[in-house]
Amino acid sequence: MRNPKVETVRGVNDVLPPTYRLQKQIENQLSSCFQSFGYRPIDVPVIEYTELFLRKSGEELISRMYDFTYHNRRLCLRPELTASVARAYIQTTLQGEPLPVRLYYSGPVFRYEKPQRGRYRQFTQMGVEAIGAAGSMADAEMIALACQSLDKLGLKDYRVVLGNISLLNQFLRTMPLERRLGNFLLSQMEELRKVRRAALEAAIEEICPPDNLVETSRLQHLLQGLSEEEAKATILELLENTNVNLVGNRQKMDIANSLMGKIQRAEQKPLWLKALDFMEQLAQLQGKPQEVLPSARQLLASYHMDSGGLGELEEILAILPSYNIDSTRIRLDFGLSRGLQYYTGTIFEIHHETLGQERQLCGGGRYDDLVKTLGGNNDIPASGFSFGIERIRLAMESEGILPVVEESTVDALIVPLSAAEHCYSIEVGEKLRSKGLRVVLEVRGKNLSTSLKYAAKQTIPFVIVVGEAERLANVVVVKNMATRQQQQLPLEEAVMVMRRENDE
Ligand code: HAM
């Protein structure tokens, strides 16, 4: 009876040789594009301290991390590479290099997702990060490099969605929202289009439950117009004047802090309702740049907001034609938020209709605070993007442009006719390898006819037969599997024949 099989973990794939070769070919083409823009390769570990991603990646990503404790250390399998590259920049000599530091990478990342075609729990990201460059020129370089990379691969049916998260960030920053609530709202920008607003409001009520409303509304009324410090001092004074028997200052301070918390929570609801209104209006702004930009400008003016983010988008749109980027591919979407919390400015995604399904091939943007958040210098702006390599392969497949991979990776099979020729056949193999040929040896003791069938099945173009006569005369028999012709030759000549006939 056979032992039970051990299978792959759900959502991860074995990559077999033809697909492996295809993906490497795609990665090589992307590397040469990245290098042509001055990016240098870097490799970072697959395993990191979970803390690296807790600081700024956002709930959405954190909830999908492979996160575990090992020997009292909280570790994870990286869910992306941007935070790792920023960490490596801060931790190594890269930090001393002149800015910007342009890096590219490729490797596996892990996310606990619901698996389906094109969505895996282990997948390959390949991307770039430019650390130390702010502004529209740097942002435009990112978008142009991503598009040119896809153009080089021959992809045609992709579209670029451009947004700017600074508008929402700026709006939320003007409100004294609890940090957790602000982050939640940021993460819900894209959800707004998918779920009903009432459902979202119910979710927020759960995060931020209203306290005893009668008590807090009285206090609120009393403390209206005071700063946080003044309000706290007033509460302390009130406590001093009550007849409640309190022991020491500490206890009074705790009560004051708790009351302040209640008031702040009670004050949150009108704020987050206002934020949801703004987010709903932002989310409606999507389409062709010339149509969307005037409405966006109007919206910001109605909220008396600075339109810096829009100016950046306009600059980027003006730069992109110089990179020969087809402007009909570009749409603006002010509801784009990317689900990662570290973005601070321009963000973008590249989508493709892959096998009847809209898929994101690439995502990226500006993240000016991440280096600081991870303990680096204060003022290091950065931006980058990542492709999902498996999705690029699927997109190429659906456009019918996957390169044909060479079937055989072997030039010749050497067949010793008896055990007496084993050593000679190995020497022949070594000499052929030293000439740059890819050679396999028949090691299972199979006879010539079985070996020929094997070579035909494996599409190996030449079979080299060595029997006693060849060993004694220091020659080999070369058989061309396509023409079925064979000749006995010294090894040097056999190499020339194989090269010549291979080229024909
Ligand atoms: P991301 O959008 O989360 O961005 O992922 C980048 C790409 O990885 C996506 O566009 C998609 O092609 C691919 N991808 C994501 N999830 C899956 C999955 N489950 N299965 C297959 N492919 C997937 C980032 O990770 C950022 N670090 C990008 C970035 C770089 N931002 C700045 N620099």
Does any ligand 1 atom lie closer than 6 A to the CB of residue 97?
Answer: no
Q: CB of 189 within 8 A of CB of 283?
A: yes
- Locate 319 and state its tokens: 């730069």
- Distance between Cα 392 and ligand 1 center (Å): 12
Which ligand 1 atom lies nearest to the CA of residue 362?
10
Does residue 312 surpass a pLDDT of 60?
Answer: yes
pLDDT average, residue stretch 78-84 = 98
SS (H, E, C) 328-349: HHEEEECCCCCCCCCCCCEEEE
Ordered by start, the domain boundaries in the chain are 17-172+305-399, 175-304, 412-503
**Residue 197 pLDDT level (bands cut at 50, 70, 90):** confident
- Locate 25 and state its tokens: 């070919």
SS (H, E, C) 252-293: HHHHHHHHHHHHHHHHHHHHHHHHHHHHHHHHCCEECHHHHH
Contacts 24+ apart (CB under 8 A), 87-95: 87/44, 87/48, 87/52, 87/374, 88/42, 88/44, 89/131, 89/371, 89/376, 90/371, 90/374, 90/375, 90/376, 94/131, 95/376, 95/377
pLDDT of residue 243: 59
pLDDT of residue 219: 65
Average pLDDT over the chain reads 91
Higher-confidence residue of 14 and 197: namely: 14
Does any ligand 1 atom lie closer than 6 A to the CB of residue 390?
Answer: yes
Does any ligand 1 atom lie closer than 6 A to the CB of residue 345?
Answer: no
Placement of tokens 């700017």 in the chain: 164
**Residue 358 pLDDT level (bands cut at 50, 70, 90):** confident
Record the pTM.
Answer: 0.87
- Locate 15 and state its tokens: 């990559």
pLDDT of residue 481: 97
**Residue 422 pLDDT level (bands cut at 50, 70, 90):** very high
pLDDT of residue 210: 61
- Distance between Cα 127 and ligand 1 center (Å): 9
* CATH for the stretch 17-172+305-399: 3.30.930.10
pLDDT of residue 233: 80
Does any ligand 1 atom lie closer than 6 A to the CB of residue 24?
Answer: no
Does any ligand 1 atom lie closer than 6 A to the CB of residue 385?
Answer: yes
| Domain 412-503 classification at class level | alpha beta
For atom 21 of ligand 1, which residue has the closest CA? 119
Does any ligand 1 atom lie closer than 6 A to the CB of residue 139?
Answer: no
- Distance between Cα 363 and ligand 1 center (Å): 6
Which ligand 1 atom lies nearest to the CA of residue 81?
27
**Residue 184 pLDDT level (bands cut at 50, 70, 90):** confident
pLDDT of residue 222: 67
Percent composition of the chain: helix, strand, coil (DSSP 3-state, to 5):
50, 20, 30
**Residue 205 pLDDT level (bands cut at 50, 70, 90):** confident
- Distance between Cα 121 and ligand 1 center (Å): 12
